[in-house]
Structure 1
């Protein structure tokens, strides 16, 4: 009896494809301009305790250092594409992010350093512009151990977050607190210093992130442009803070890879899970607990007076997430297999026993999340463990 998920085996003299587990991209993350791991941080919120909030916050700020800001101003494209929307209403992702961001500010959590290879070089980097793109890049690079100088032409940091969004929609106390958390990483901040040319800072820096202006983001070293925002020749996407944060992240990663000598082709994203192939009937109906990010009027942007309250509401809303494209350890595949070909592993997770599988696809059809696919992915290994099973 073998464990794992080879793509095919001989069943009664005929080749038989068998299923395998895949880790697919959920539509919420695919739609997010900031490239947040939405599924992962929402699932982390499913228990109403502070450790869960902190785990979710750490996953958010790995991509977006301004969760309390985006939790108020984001257009919530993630909710527009949420598969739960066709069932009983999208998960209120923007509201969850804002609640997590506010909780972190109330607790005074500091941005943690990012993992760094031993002996990695600490470079001198200038970031020009302190809008969402510049702040995102500066945070990413400082957390990676680089010495960052942040240049801003105005007297205060924030760019269009400060000058283009009303204080009613984005309270200045929230914006200031999240910016202060970024500068606390050790940034050398120089405000009221307009720069017109890259050459003004490149001579004294190992690299530059040029994020001056609402539509400009580039990563540069002497004589070379490493990354610049994509040019759109047919359509012009809506300029949003989340998109700017994502661009800052990519520019920072390109510059860091160049300076650390780890340049290469980044891994491609996994395909987006097809919601039509998910058996959502297993989830039942659960009405939203928190207001939608697509809401307008009195429900939009509602916050509890005490940021440290409302954990039960947060957990209840997070538990509406269907874990699209990723095994949620529900045991259903194991329970419905008529050939007992899916084993619960002692170490947690599941193994598909190739010698017993007849390729009937019942497990694939019943999988609530669309994480079981036919035939097994090339990347599938034996035994395949997605994550520890839930107690």
Structure 2
């Protein structure tokens, strides 16, 4: 075809039409909503992308940069990432938690281990508390080359993961494998070593370059209706810890569990596995109970009787057991920043008969050994990097926060470790990515075929009661892992699909290492590349001249 006579060069490069535009597209890496919602700031879109490509080893390597417990978190995380998932506005959220479990389980099955630190540094850090937050801090610090000694009061590491979460939710071989992988990095462990008093903390601070306090919340809350020292009631945390140690506490055939959170579910379900008839008494109405909906649903399937929206009025011990008069309550939301109110309903009384009352209404942090540190509302006061008011002392997990989830504790340990590392090296800690995350309406969803979320599978109720410690939640199959990973929009993470390159009407996109570049001399700012991006990795911005 002959070249028009007006085209004297045989190319359109001479027509620099970029001066026509008012908006300029940019190829950018942006945070996904799941990333911003993740307590450990996990690079979720990236590791799911590797899982989608079938490379679970690389997925594990990316995932464990932020979280050393993928197999654990994949079983017990409250998964706020899924609530934030952009796919939920399209059909249903990606099953991030179960994908994480699949990656973690594969790592355990194949014996994958962390590379030893690239260098050994001189500093020595004490981590006080071997639960999820302390272990997370020890992991992050050791990978950066610091010498770490982990001091734990109990006989074994794990904290709430071992002594609070039952084996039917978190198999002990999974817990042990992920802890042992951290210890194998060279973390020194001193179990049976509690932080006894303020002098012990001062000695520790004097003999180490930094101290991270992660002693948890070990003091169970009680009810004034319960007589101190009475043999017919027990703290739920004590019951779970004794069960975890292989004991079978004598609690009788009828059990009343007081509480509505995840710990109460664990107590009630553990008592059912011990053969007890269990009634769960919760202040909140069912739809507002703090327990995860799946936990409550499974407890009811297992035969736990729920009496929600009710409170324990008093308790009377008799020859046939314990009589527990109760009454219904009306829930009233509190003012912003204030707790809700529960108003007794007149004439609504009823009585429950039981042999043992197990109380699971929360725990408080034990701060007796930390008198020299600032505290407020029963928690150590920390800043955004987990620093306390004392030099060389950081704190995190349940001793410093009411966000009492395993992955929240892991995130605090990571945050403290990053700041400790920066302080000891005399450098600034890296700043967080504050860019706005990709919104659902920025995804070209027509490039994503509708696909149902992988169905959740659990053991039948009768089977799991008979099996005792056998895990209730069943894993995804390899085919389901690949299908579920394919459902991810990869929000903010370019997948090199070439849509922007192929569809630009001005040929103003070129390939560069790591993605694409917009040629400003030719781009008219039409926004086709932005509209056709399936991951939200092209952003149209006003150009001021």
* Alignment TM-score, normalising by the size of structure 1: 0.81
Q: How far, CA to CA, are the matches of 1:324 and 1:82 in structure 2?
A: 9
Q: What is the aligned partner in structure 2 of residue 21 from structure 1?
A: 27
Structure 2: stretches of 5+ with no match in the other structure: 1-15, 218-364, 366-378, 465-470
Q: 2:85 aligns with which of 82, 85, 88?
A: 82
User: 2:332 maps to what in 1?
Assistant: none
Residue pair 1:20, 1:372 contacting (<8 A) in 2 also: yes
Q: Secondary structure at the match of 1:203?
A: helix
Deviation at 1:113, TM superposition (A): 3.6
Structure 2 residue 38 is matched with structure 1 residue 32: yes
* Equivalent position of 1:386 in the other structure: none
1:112-139 superposed Cα distances (whole Å, 9 cap, x missing partner): 24566xxx73311110001110000011
Match of 1:257 among 414, 422, 439: 422
Equivalence for 2:94 = 91
The answer on whether the counterparts of 1:20 and 1:377 sit within 8 Å (CA) in structure 2 is no
User: Do the aligned partners of 1:208 and 1:220 also contact (CA within 8 Å) in 2?
Assistant: no
Q: Does 1:283 align with 2:448?
A: yes
Q: Which of 36, 45, 52 is 1:46 aligned to?
A: 52
| CA gap 1:209/1:348 in 2 versus in 1, 3 angstroms | closer
Q: Structure 2 matches for 1:93-108, cutoff 5 A?
A: 93-108=96-111
Residue 366 and residue 221 in structure 1: after superposition, are their counterparts in 2 closer, same or farther (change >3 A)? closer
Name the counterpart of 1:206.
Answer: 209
Please report how far the alpha carbon of residue 99 of structure 1 lies from its aligned counterpart in structure 2 after TM superposition: 1.0
1:365 aligns to 2:531 (yes or no): yes
Deviations 1:56-77 (A, max 9, x none): 1111111111111111001111
Aligned equivalents of 1:230, 1:136: Cα separation in 2: 10
The corresponding residue for 1:191 is 191
Within the candidate set 504, 528, 531, 1:337 is matched to 504
Equivalence for 1:4: none
Aligned counterparts of 1:237 and 1:27: Cα–Cα separation in 2: 23
Shift of 1:169: 0.5
- Summarize the Cα distance change of 1:83–1:202 in structure 2 as closer, same or farther, 3 Å threshold: same
**Cα distance in 1 for residues equivalent to 2:40 and 2:522:** 44
Q: CA deviation at 1:165?
A: 0.8
Q: Give 1 or 2: higher strand fraction.
A: 2
Distance 1:377 1:81, change over 3 A: farther
Alpha-carbon displacement from aligned partner over 1:36-71 (angstroms, at most 9, x marks no partner): 1111110011123xxx11111111111111111111
Mapping of 1:340-359 within 5 angstroms? 340-345=507-512, 349-359=515-525
Pairing of 1:1-391 with structure 2 (within 5 A): 11=17, 16-48=22-54, 52-113=55-116, 121-195=121-195, 196-197=197-198, 198-214=201-217, 224=391, 228=395, 238-264=403-429, 266-289=431-454, 291=456, 301-303=473-475, 310-345=477-512, 349-375=515-541
Cα separation, partners in 2 of 1:157 and 1:228, compared to 1, 3 Å: closer
The answer (yes or no) to whether the contact 1:123–1:259 under 8 Å persists in 2 is yes
SS at match of 2:510: strand
Q: CA deviation at 1:280?
A: 1.2
Is contact 1:70-1:242 (8 Å) kept? yes
SS at match of 2:94: coil
Q: Is the 8 A contact 2:397 2:409 kept in 1?
A: no
The answer on whether the counterparts of 2:212 and 2:396 sit within 8 Å (CA) in structure 1 is no
Where relative contact order (Cα < 8 A, 6+ residues apart) is larger, the structure is 1
- What is the CA distance between 1:312 and its match in structure 2? 3.3
Alpha-carbon distance in structure 2 between the residues aligned to 1:13 and 1:108: 58
Asked if structure 2 preserves the Cα contact closer than 8 Å seen for 1:290 and 1:317, the reply is: no
Matched residue pairs, number? 352
Q: 1:203 to 1:227 in 2, by over 3 A?
A: closer
Please list the CA deviations of residues 215-271 of structure 1 after superposition, one character each: whole Å capped at 9, or x if unmatched: 66866699525655599xxxx864211110000000011111111112356244322
Are the counterparts in 2 of residues 23 and 270 from structure 1 also a CA contact under 8 Å?
no
1:16, distance to aligned residue in structure 2 (A): 3.1
Q: Which runs of 4+ in 1 moved over 4 A?
A: 10-15, 215-223, 225-231, 296-300
Contact 1:105 1:177 in 2 (8 A): yes
The whole-number CA distance in structure 1 between the counterparts of 2:387 and 2:126 is 10
- 2:541 counterpart SS class: coil
TM-score, scaled relative to structure 2: 0.59
Secondary structure (helix, strand or coil) at the match of 1:351 reads strand
Within 2, Cα distance between the matches of 1:225 and 1:123? 12
Q: Which runs of 5+ in 1 are unaligned?
A: 1-9, 305-309, 379-391
CA RMSD of aligned residues (A): 3.1
